[in-house]
Amino acid sequence: SQTIHQWPATLVQPVGSPLSLECTVEGTSNPNLYWYRQAAGRGLQLLFYSVGIGQISSEVPQNLSASRPQDRQFILSSKKLLLSDSGFYLCASTFPDRIGTQYFGPGTRLTVL
């Protein structure tokens, strides 16, 4: 079946600490993968997307980075978190049954203190 996993589910980190969020996808190969951030009560902001291993495109310049070391693995990282990095981080994937449709993972809620 087609499933998107994200971990951790919740995370509380101090300002200046590093970050690593992981997303893995099951039930497909060569998906398009996306990282979104949603601030409290706000809309969806696209951060990065990837069409293949090692191929990353950035939508918003900031202190975050993304990597895709394997076909179905997408990682979001930061070397030093800012207070403004707090939010709900969502990974999305396309699946072959519906071309172009994005499905979201369960998300990681990040609080930076």
User: Is the Cβ of residue 78 or residue 108 nearer to other proteins in the bound state?
Assistant: 108
Structure tokens at 3: 């499933």
Provide the minimum distance between the beta carbon of 70 and other proteins in the complex, in angstroms, as a whole number: 18
Q: What is the DSSP letter of 85?
A: G
Cβ atoms of 57 and 49 within 8 Å: the answer is yes
Q: Does 35 bind other proteins (CB under 8 A)?
A: no
- List strands edge to edge, sheet with 3-7: 3-7, 19-26, 73-78, 64-70
Question: SS3 of 83, please?
Answer: helix
Among 64, 105, 110, 112, binds other proteins (CB under 8 A): 105
User: Is the Cβ of residue 85 or residue 107 nearer to other proteins in the bound state?
Assistant: 107
Provide the minimum distance between the beta carbon of 80 and other proteins in the complex, in angstroms, as a whole number: 27
Q: Does 95 bind other proteins (CB under 8 A)?
A: no
